[in-house]
Amino acid sequence: MPGAPTPTPASAVPLSTRYAPPHPIDLRRTLGTIAQFGSDPASRREGEAHWLVFRAPAERATAPMADAGAPATLRLRVDAAAATVHADAWGPGAAWAIERVPSLLGADDDLDGFDAERHPLIAELHRRAPGLRLARTGQIMAALLPAVFFQKVTGQEASRSWRTLVARHGEAAPGPAPRGMHVLPTVAAWRRIPSWEWHRAGVTPQRRDTIQRALAVAAGLERGGDQPVAEAQRRLRTVAGIGVWTTAETVQRSHGAPDAVSFGDFHTCKNVGWALTGARVDDDGMRELLEPWRGHRQRVVRLIEGSGIGYERRGPRLTIPDHRAR
């Protein structure tokens, strides 16, 4: 892409660190909210290595990056014997990525006030997953944009649209990242995508317009990444098309928000009801069931959904429309 930063050569020496978390750590579970390893071009899991790609703030680049931000590739590996996580980072934003490692691995996650013993299943799931922490990226737009892609469509359809546009308008991940990994497009690059290309990627006009409205105020929204959860949510809700579900999905990733539940999600309320009562419930029912854990309601949801417990799904699968030839 014209003006895009040149990817760091694969042979470049990375910045590295070893982080010794003060708690057990399960990389797969902890990174599960911020990385869709099977479909996300900005994340990948290969063997025991977890790869993430970021665009750090421009002012944190090791070389002048104008307003494009500073691409970085981060590789995380657990050294079980030493109880540490080995992190390597490449690219102009490598130093920023290394600094983010503790937050990505749940260093900011506070379990104070969480009582798993309020329900025997939650107590058991918590016992089985001592390494589950809530990750915090500190980045609003990188969490918000995919959330809008996933509004009111199947995960398969949203993932395909996301992969298509990120691969086309992003840039190759720096360093020895696995093939196919890309840095998310810049705000300017997202705004330049023509309407016909959004359509061809399967993104509805409503979602496209919501994204464009958010991009127009991206700087203000991004500053919410350093603010308390409530302030970040307030800023997000000022954008038409961003409601309770999208706001929750965003701050779950940007802030590791332990109480931000995705009310309005088709499956979440049913999974929670099934796990806690053996019956499907709606949003109001889920709100009532989760009330004993107020302050940590999303933590309970993560424990349930991470366990694989869920309601029995019936009915024909939805056919995914293919917009690529239209």
Q: In a 3-state reduction of DSSP, which class is residue 86?
A: strand
Chain center to CA of 216: 21
Cα gap 281→274, rounded to integer Å: 8
pLDDT at 11: 42
Does the structure show a pLDDT above 80 at 318?
A: no
Q: What average pLDDT does the chain have?
A: 89
Cα gap 296→247, rounded to integer Å: 17
Chain center to CA of 89: 19
Strand-pair category, 49-56 with 43-46: antiparallel
Bridge partners of residue 51, in order along the sequence? 44, 75
pTM (2 d.p.)? 0.89
pLDDT at 82: 81
**Nearest Cα to Cα of residue 53 among 109, 108, 93, 103:** 93
User: Which string of DSSP letters, residue by residue, matches 11-42?
Assistant: TSPPEEEEE--SS---HHHHTTTT--TTT-TT
More confident position, 7 or 292: 292
Question: What is the pLDDT averaged over residues 295-305?
Answer: 97
At 57, the pLDDT band (50, 70, 90 cuts) reads confident
pLDDT at 316: 43
pLDDT at 59: 62
Does the structure show a pLDDT above 80 at 10?
A: no
Does the structure show a pLDDT above 90 at 326?
A: no
Structural tokens at position 119: 């329900």
Torsion angles phi and psi, residue 15, rounded to 5: -80, 140
Contacts of 70 (CB under 8 A, 6+ apart): 5, 55, 56, 57, 58, 60, 61, 62, 91, 92, 93, 96
DSSP 118: G
Count CB neighbours of 180 within 10 A: 11
Bridge partners of residue 150, in order along the sequence? none
DSSP 60: G
**Sign of torsion over alpha carbons 25, 27, 28, 33:** positive
Does the structure show a pLDDT above 90 at 60?
A: no
Tens digits of residue pLDDT in 166-222: 999 999 999 999 999 999 999 999 999 999 999 999 999 999 999 999 999 999 999
At 152, the pLDDT band (50, 70, 90 cuts) reads confident
Question: What is the pLDDT averaged over residues 228-252?
Answer: 98
More confident position, 326 or 105: 105
